Amino acid sequence: MRRWLLFALLGITTACGGSSSGADGAAKTPAPGVDDDGGPAAEQEVPVTPLEKGPPQLTEAEQKELSGTCFPMENDLYEAGKQGLLVLDTELAGGKDDAAAEQAGLDAARAALEGKGGDLGGARDACVAVFTKQMKRRLFDYEPAEKPARETLDACVKRAVAAFGKASQTFELGGQAGPSVNQGPFCPDDFPVPPSLKDLPYESSAEDWESPAWTCLAFGMRIEQPFQIEYEAPYGEERFACITRFLPRHGGAPIELIRRGRVSDARELEVDKNSTRRRMKAN
């Protein structure tokens, strides 16, 4: 795969799914379970803020120019893009506002191209201009919470795979002594941590991870979370889902990442290789 294409794919694309605007808008999501459309497992309010339009995307003609005329600069453009995102991430972590951080990232990316692409002659300036337009959009779309959310999602899936089929997975109903149920091959599900997206960012305590679900998964964190995490395994359905959700920098409905696993007809564990990224539904 050409690196210019990889460069384009590294950018965060606009998530699919329904959303609505309104400064104080909120909606409730259905319960229970992650349905076929990827809805969240627990009923909770979905905070929805106005979605900013942002810089324009590249046109089809500009995309062709980037992959054609500008192809000799692909390595330089790729490295400049990485530098721009690195500076943006650093500036945001340091508390700089979005606009100033994005401008710093753009300045860093353009500076990385100084003296590059001389062999393109007069076409160099056009390539830098197209790159600059693309970079503005990439910087706008970048979500600093997404990397830790993805890493935690994958860690949750690994824990679910490791716990698959252990013993009988029998747990007392409601955590009370008395009748119990056989959960099946997966750990039981539970409420997300934190319980509400309005609690983000959130620093969990040991008590957050002492429920049957997280104990079964041997899962827990003691860091400031810019995301919510949920493990969901409907009783009797022989499937599970790990879900992380975070609030986007530039508004709209929260974004959720989902990876699922299930028991196949051959009684083997199948796990999605990739996660699904989408906007939460605001009903």
What are the pLDDT digits (tens) for 146-192?
999 999 999 999 999 999 877 444 544 444 444 444 556 889 888 89
- Describe the chain by its helix, strand, coil percentages, rounded to 5: 40, 20, 45
Structure tokens at 196: 């509400």
3, pLDDT greater than 50:
no
Residue 12: its pLDDT value, please? 35
Average pLDDT of span 87-113: 96
pLDDT the model gives residue 147 = 95
pLDDT on residue 154 = 96
- Tell me what pLDDT residue 83 has: 98
pLDDT, tens digit, 9 for 90 and up, residues 20-29: 333 333 333 3
228 sits in which H/E element: strand 228-232
Q: Integer distance in angstroms from the first to the last C-alpha of the chain?
A: 40
| Contact predicate 242/229, CB 8 Å | yes
Report d(CA 19, CA 254) in Å as an integer: 9
What's the chain's average pLDDT?
82
pLDDT of residue 22: 33
User: Sorting pLDDT into bands at 50, 70 and 90, what band is 108?
Assistant: very high
CA 140 to CA 143: how far, in whole Å? 8
Residue at 171: amino acid letter: F
Helices (H), ranges, the chain: 3-10, 60-67, 74-93, 98-111, 123-141, 146-163, 212-217
Q: What is the pLDDT of residues 181-215, one digit of tens each?
A: 455 688 988 889 999 999 999 999 999 999 888 99
Least confident of 180-194, 200-214, 231-245, 256-270: 180-194
Instruction: Please calculate the CA angle 24-27-33 and round it to the nearest 5 degrees.
Output: 150
Q: How far apart are alpha carbons 281 and 88 in whole angstroms?
A: 29
Chain Cα centroid distance, residue 104: 24
**What is the DSSP code (8-state) at residue 280?**
P
Domain chopping of the chain, boundaries: 25-49+144-247+251-279, 53-141
Q: Is the pTM of this model over 0.75?
A: yes
Q: CA-CA distance, 51 to 251, in Å (whole number)? A: 4
pLDDT value, residue 33 = 38
